[in-house]
Chains A and B, each alone.
Chain A
Amino acid sequence: MTALQQTTEVVDPVPGADAPHLPGQPDLVQLLTPEGERVEHPDYPLDVSDEELRGLYRDLALVRRWDVEATALQRQGELGIWASLLGQEAAQVGAGRALAPDDMAFPTYREHGVAWTRGVDPLHVISLFRGVDQGGWDPVARAFNLYTVVIGAQTLHATGYAMGLQRDGAESAALAFLGDGATSQGEVNEAMIWAATFAAPVVFFCQNNQYAISVPIERQSRVPLFQRAAGFGFPGVRVDGNDVLAVLAVTRAALAAAREGSGPTFIEAFTYRMGAHTTSDDPTRYRLASELEEWKLRDPIARLKAHLSRTGIADADFFASVDAEGDELAARIRQGTLEMPDPAGTEIFDHVYAEQTPELARQREEFVAYHASFEGDQQ
């Protein structure tokens, strides 16, 4: 074997599993099997009421309906691009519902499900992808930072925010979202070093959806991602990312530990991006259809529905009402998108600085005067 062959050899990220992209090893925390059977885990007991279970189902279903509508809007030319969360609903809703109101979340650009749990209006996310703004929600009021597009940069922000919480004596935590690809970024590794060194109340929530656009996890890591945490000196745990109950339990525990001063945790939510990276992507160029079919059997919504049906916690009327609510949500998103006004041109000048500079004020005037010079022209 040549050196080149050796370094490019694909390493099974899940030792012992027949299919390397499927979870199935003892390390995986699972509270709900793909068939919808409730199981217990000794380290992660979860006390959840029937109402909460129905609420989680509603979250998952509505977030997926929003996502489907946004993809359609992009295909119809109403959005420039859309980053679909299809398949990752449980990871996001579970993590989002684990947050306390005063905790602060730091998303990437795909955390629409977390946005939902923080009360962000879907149209305020849509506006970003329509090119109206860089995210229309108030990140302070919603305790949900604006989307960060440069991969991994937000993990440092979350860590610094957590250091601020420490200084304030606040009993809150920061939750940093990242993907499997981001774990290769230097800044993510720096964030974990800082978090460990200062025992910052931050939880790193990594959705390992198996691909960084086209590049599989094997190119990012030769060990399971959650095992990396040990090298930084804090716990790492792998959770079934398609199991909303397990994600909720694991993230709650990690946030509680952070708030109590026990420092960071790295959570690897093992999941799968069932759609494309974005609407500009074509996943058929880099992955097999059979892989997607296998993951459909692990669908995060179907398994909770099976559980709710089997146990009688929800009935057909409930599912029908959620479907109807989803259709109303989709209609509101569609109408809101189509009616969304374009921003005023002068907006680009207005928030560059807290204290406007004379030069930018001059450029703004020039911009206004230039555009005013066309007023009254025949079209």
Chain B
Amino acid sequence: MTETLTIGKALNLGLRKAMEDDAKVVLMGEDIGKLGGVFRITDGLQKDFGEARVVDTPLAEAGILGTAVGLAMRGYRPVCEIQFDGFVFPAYNQIVTQVAKIHARSRGKLPMPIVIRIPFGGGIGAVEHHSESPEAYFAHTAGLKVVAVSTPADAYWGIQQAIAAPDPVVFLEPKRRYWEKGAVDSAATPDPLFGSRVVRGGDDVTVLAYGPMVKTALQAAEAAAEEGRSLEVIDLRTISPLDLDPVFDSVRRTGRCVVVHEAPVTLGLGAEIAARVTETCFHSLEAPVLRVGGYDTPYPPSKLEEEYLPDLDRVLDAVDRSLGF
């Protein structure tokens, strides 16, 4: 059955489906019960599934992740909501030293099927710590998997796939796109969670994005088409592990590659992707891999965030520079 849903509503329905399918799924987070979450992603779930399965937790992020570890050891599948990206750091110790390492430490005897939902990225006019893109910290940590969704369909299926996955998954939700609408076919066969996808074909330059920047890249491709330039846009979808085979195929044809993310460029995902594209497609490249991202500054006050965040024009500027080589 196909419905038109927002990303937020698709996540809500995906969580509901996962909870119906598996009684071991437990949602944990701050304000997720009665309130339904500050973004209402868990709206109505506590009413229907009860307080033991949708837990309004104390205000302690390390506590959320640390108790999730214990619940996972007991056979539960905790889905932890971090209210905003910048608030994940109190839980960072548990995520990096415990959640990520327990499977390896126990040589597989203690699986950690924990999902860490994080609304991430800027563009909503928020105060400090509400607009960050911390994905590289997690992608750098062995034992975690990291994905970012960009469409309602991926949100609906992705959250279910992440919950069903046997490994810990950092599930990044593009908060400024929560209200974007799209078709969701609940009878469809979803694409695998850990795969990238070509979302617009093109011949001149390959543009890579994930999460909130996919829409920006598609808008850039639309604008470029009006000038006769054909951009191929790939939604990476999975950040760790990376699925770069579609990227390599694309770059071998276009010879040019631009990576777009909101996170600061230095040692961001773009750096790793540039290295791998260069290693694998060296003889096909007509230009160096270029990165468009946030500056190496703290995320700015919101009056300046439009200057900080990549937008259509900065993507096109990078496309021009790539084509200028």
Contacts and interface: CB of A to CB of B under 8 A. Distances in A.
Interface of A: 104, 133-135, 138-140, 145-146, 148, 150, 153, 155-165, 167-168, 174, 186-187, 190-191, 193-194, 197, 347, 350-355, 357-360
Nearest to B67: A160
Pick the 6 closest A-B CB pairs, nearest first. Answer: A160-B70, A156-B66, A164-B74, A160-B67, A161-B70, A354-B166
12 contacts: A139-B110, A140-B110, A145-B73, A150-B98, A156-B65, A157-B66, A187-B94, A190-B58, A352-B104, A357-B145, A357-B241, A358-B243
A146 to B, nearest CB: 6
Contacts of B67: 156-157, 159-160, 163, 191, 194
Given A153-B93, A160-B70, A355 B167 contact: yes
Interface string B236-272: 0000111100000000000000000000000000000
B283 interface: no
Interface in B49-86: 52, 57-58, 60, 62-63, 65-76, 78
Given A134-B105, A138-B109, A140-B110, 8 more contacts: A134-B106, A146-B102, A146-B110, A156-B66, A157-B66, A160-B70, A190-B58, A354-B113
A194 B63 contact: yes
A156 B57 CA distance: 13
B241 A359 contact: yes
A153 B102 CA distance: 12
Contacts of A174: 70
A157 B109 contact: no
A187 B63 contact: yes
A104 B68 CA distance: 16
Q: Chain A binding site: helix, strand, loop or mixed by DSSP? A: helix
A241 B62 CA distance: 30
A354 B113 CA distance: 9
A162 B58 CA distance: 16
Contact of A190 (B60, B69, B194): B60
Given A163-B71, A357-B241, A139 B106 contact: yes
B69 A160 contact: yes
A273 B242 CA distance: 48
A201 B131 CA distance: 38
Contact of A351 (B70, B107, B145): B107
B80 to A, nearest CB: 11
Contacts of B167: 353-355
Given A140-B109, A190-B63, A194-B63, A163 B104 contact: no
B98 A157 contact: yes
A157 B73 contact: yes
Contacts of B52: 167
B58 A161 contact: no
Nearest to B166: A354
A155 to B, nearest CB: 8
Contacts, number: 136
Contacts of B71: 160-161, 163-164
A153 B108 contact: no
Contact of A164 (B76, B145, B240): B76
A135 B105 CA distance: 8
Chain A CB within 10 Å, residue with most, of B66, B78, B107 = B66
A167 B49 CA distance: 13
A350 B70 CA distance: 23
B142 interface: yes
A106 to B, nearest CB: 8
B22 to A, nearest CB: 14
B103 interface: yes
Given A157-B73, A354-B167, A357-B241, A194 B68 contact: no
Nearest to B165: A355
B162 to A, nearest CB: 12
B134 interface: no
A156 B98 CA distance: 11
Nearest to A170: B74
Interface string B142-178: 1101000000000000000000011100000000000
B110 A194 contact: no
B94 A156 contact: yes
Contacts of A359: 241-242
B107 A133 contact: yes
Contacts of A104: 73
Contact of A353 (B62, B97, B145): B145
A66 B243 CA distance: 49
Contacts of A156: 62-63, 65-67, 69-70, 94
B166 A355 contact: yes
Nearest to A186: B62
B211 interface: no
B33 to A, nearest CB: 13
Given A163-B67, A167-B52, A146 B106 contact: yes
Contact of B58 (A193, A350, A354): A193
B300 interface: no
Contacts of B76: 164, 167
Contacts of A187: 62-63, 66, 93-94
B73 A164 contact: yes
B63 A191 contact: yes
B66 A352 contact: no
Given A153-B66, A160-B71, A354 B103 contact: yes
Contacts of A163: 67, 70-71, 74
Contacts of A355: 165-167
B104 A351 contact: yes
B103 A352 contact: yes
A276 to B, nearest CB: 25
Contacts of A354: 103, 108, 111, 113, 166-167
Nearest to B240: A357
Contacts of A135: 105-106
A165 B52 CA distance: 12
B244 to A, nearest CB: 9
